[in-house]
Chains A and B, each alone.
Chain A
């Protein structure tokens, strides 16, 4: 079952404009939502996260919005830069029973191209 979905496999944006990456989820029990960025031949790198009790978190050029009623979150990058070109993974995590751990479910990713 795909609990975290990224329906756009790719997105192309002009340098300086806003990039909006979208993500939908199905499980209302998730505690946190995270975005990771991945360059070729590297592992994913954490970008920004948001708690399920918040609706917005901002860090520099990156802002994540959470709409719990719609089970939807989005990552806004503004202004977009060519170095932002990468694959972006949406992820959702929840506490795993009483083990004290977190289980993280990843979406399939969206490849962002920022054109100079």
Chain B
């Protein structure tokens, strides 16, 4: 399977703990996105990488959130000092610069975070 993978699929943590999620994009894709989705809402943009460079961050991404994409391959999203409001599905997507279809993105299955 050469799609986007995310690990873990589910994470339950206690408030105040740090968590880290991993995303492995489709290998030839140079763009990588992180989104957050809560119940009844569509994915909300968090941040975007082109290769290893983080080019855009949403104001939703507080200073407790940090994302990296070393070497332009996999990416990690870390949430420090988790709060109950961080409970959501965290989606990763990747795309090719030359998609030609308006930046069609390929999504992973998501990591569901529950903060107790």
Answer yes or no: do A and B interact.
yes
A110 to chain B, nearest CB (A): 10
For chain B, the count of residues having a C-beta within 8 Å of the partner chain is 28
B window 9-64: CB within 8 A of A: 31, 33, 35, 40-45, 48, 50, 55-56
User: Which B residues touch A51, using CB under 8 A?
Assistant: 102
Decide if B101 is an interface residue (CB 8 Å cutoff): yes
Q: Mark A25-57, 1 if CB is under 8 A from B, else 0.
A: 000000111101000011111100111000000
CB–CB A41/B109 < 8 A:
yes
B97 to chain A, nearest CB (A): 7
Which of A14-22, A68-76, A77-85, A93-101 is the contact stretch? A93-101
In the complex, the answer to whether B107 meets A45 with C-beta atoms within 8 Å is: yes
> How many angstroms between the C-alpha atoms of A91 and B101 in the bound complex?
12
Given contacts A43-B107, A46-B106, A96-B55, contact A106 B43 (CB under 8 A): yes
Q: Does B91 contact A (CB under 8 A)?
A: yes
- By a CB distance below 8 angstroms, the chain A residues around B48 are 96, 101, 103
Known A41-B109, A108-B42: A100·B50 in contact at CB below 8 Å: yes
- Please, how many angstroms separate the alpha-carbon atoms of A45 and B3 in the complex? 11
**Known contacts A102-B103, A103-B48, then 10 further A-B pairs from the complex at CB < 8 Å, ordered by chain A residue:** A36-B107, A43-B4, A43-B93, A43-B109, A46-B104, A89-B43, A93-B102, A99-B56, A101-B55, A101-B56
B interface residues, Cβ below 8 angstroms from A: 4, 31, 33, 35, 40-45, 48, 50, 55-56, 91, 93, 95, 97, 101-110
